Amino acid sequence: MTTQTDRETELLLTILANQFAGLRRSLSGLTAEQARSIPSASAMSLAALLNHLIDGLEATINRISGEQSRTSDPVAAWMAGWEVDDEESVADQVARLDATAGRFAARLRAEPDLDRVVDIPAGAAVWLDQGVPFTVRFLVLHQVEEWARHAGHADIIRESIDGATADVLAEAP
């Protein structure tokens, strides 16, 4: 029997999967050097942007699971999430995205109550506070917001690298 929670969970995962696909496309066909380049007025590279988003998704998995695996300094943890290892390739990043997305989907599908309040450390809560309880649903919607915002950044960065736009990349095999 499919419940309302199951349907909502699948809808949220579908929306996130669309954002994951967009980020994958923005990296499609790029060398590690291109992915690390900073070709626009932004200080972001596609490689750093993707690592930041994966880091946020991993933090969300841990928070929903009740694990606090991050450093006690939320600013240091946030800064570390932007780092790109010298040996990390585009393929490595995409594989990491796929693995993290799979863990996120499994964790969310196992969650029986999207309204369950999640404990967020005070140092991180200050950055997330929207005046509402930190429920599982809120944390998932925050990820939708983050991925959608940064998908736009990725489009601009990619277009600055080689002129490829989201619509052309979406049509590519």
Do residues 40 and 157 touch, judged by C-beta distance below 8 A?
yes
Do residues 33 and 86 touch, judged by C-beta distance below 8 A?
no
The residue length of the chain stands at 173
Backbone angles phi, psi at 141, to 5 degrees: -65, -35
pLDDT for position 96: 94
pLDDT for position 17: 95
**The pTM of the whole model exceeds 0.95:** no
pLDDT for position 138: 95
135 has which bridge partners? 117
pLDDT for position 173: 56
Q: Could you report the per-residue pLDDT of 22-76, keeping only the tens digit for each?
A: 999 999 999 999 999 999 888 899 999 999 999 999 999 999 999 876 667 777 8
**What is the residue whose two structure tokens read 């998932």?**
140
**How remote is the C-alpha of 87 from its chain's centroid?**
21
pLDDT for position 27: 92
Q: Could you report the per-residue pLDDT of 125-156, keeping only the tens digit for each?
A: 777 778 889 999 999 999 999 999 999 999 99
pLDDT for position 35: 95
Indicate whether 9 pLDDT > 90: yes
117 has which bridge partners? 135
pLDDT for position 114: 97
